[in-house]
Structure 1
Amino acid sequence: MSAATARKAALAYWGFAPKPAARASKGIDLQVLGECGTAGLDEAAAPLRRFAALVAREWPEHIGAVGGHARIPLSLLERLARLAKGTDEKPGASSPEEAEAWARHLVDAERKCFLAVSEHRGARRVLLLNLGV
C-alpha cells in the first residue's frame, strides 16, 4: 500500500474527486504523510497508549465502501483523545492540535497508516487512514 492509494482514498472521502481514480481539482492542497518524525509508540505516555488502543478499536467501524480502507476524521480523533485523557464519565480536555500530534505518533508506529492533511478554501482537514484493515 502506498501514499498514492492513501491520497486517492482521502480525495474520495472529502469529495474532492468524483471517483477514486480521479485527480484533485486545481486549488486543493493535499499532503499525505507516511512518516512524521516522532518516536512512534515506543516511549509513549499512558494517555497516548490508551489513544492508540481506542483508535485500534474504531478502525473496523470506519471502513469505506470503495477500496476497503479505514478512515478516521480529526473530529473523532479529538473525541478519542479526550477519552484517553479521562474516563467515559468525565473525558479530559483535548484540542484538534493535540489529536493531530497523537495521530502522527500512530502513523510512525504503523506502516500502513497515513495522515492526510488538506487546505482548501481556508478550511484545514485532517484524516487518519489505515490501508491495512
Structure 2
Amino acid sequence: MASIFTRIINREIPAHIVAEDEKHIAFLDINPLVMGHTLVVPKKEVDYIFDLDDQTLTGLNIFAKKVALAIGKAIPCNRVAVSVIGLEVPHTHIHLIPMNSMGDVNFSRPKLTPSKEGLAETAEKIRKQF
C-alpha cells in the first residue's frame, strides 16, 4: 500500500506544496511544530533514508537546501533546523523547521493545528522565495 506521502505525490490527497521537481517534493506539515515546518520527500518511496542510493540521497539533500533557503527568507527565524526522525510514515522525509530556539524543534511538545487558510498563506510565502 502506498504511503501517505506517495498519495500526496500522486495528488490523491491534498497538501500545501511549496516546491517540486521531477524527483522531489516539499510540503507543509499539517501539524507543525512551528509555522513553516516543511517535509522534504523523494518521490521514490523508500522507508529509511540510508537505504536510498547515493544519487537519490545527494539529490534529496540538495533539494532540501533550496527549500530551507526559501523558508529562511519567508519565515522570520534564526535558522532552519534539519531533522530526519520518525517511524510513523514509511517513506523517507526530512523535516525543515524554522527555529529561534531549541524548543522550536522539540518533537515531544504539542503540535500546532493551523487553519487551512493559515497553511495556504504560509506555503505561498515560501513559494514566492524561489
Structure with greater proportional helix content? 1
Q: TM-score of the superposition, structure 2-length normalised?
A: 0.28
Q: TM-score of the superposition, structure 1-length normalised?
A: 0.28
Q: Quick check: which has more Rg, 1 or 2? A: 1
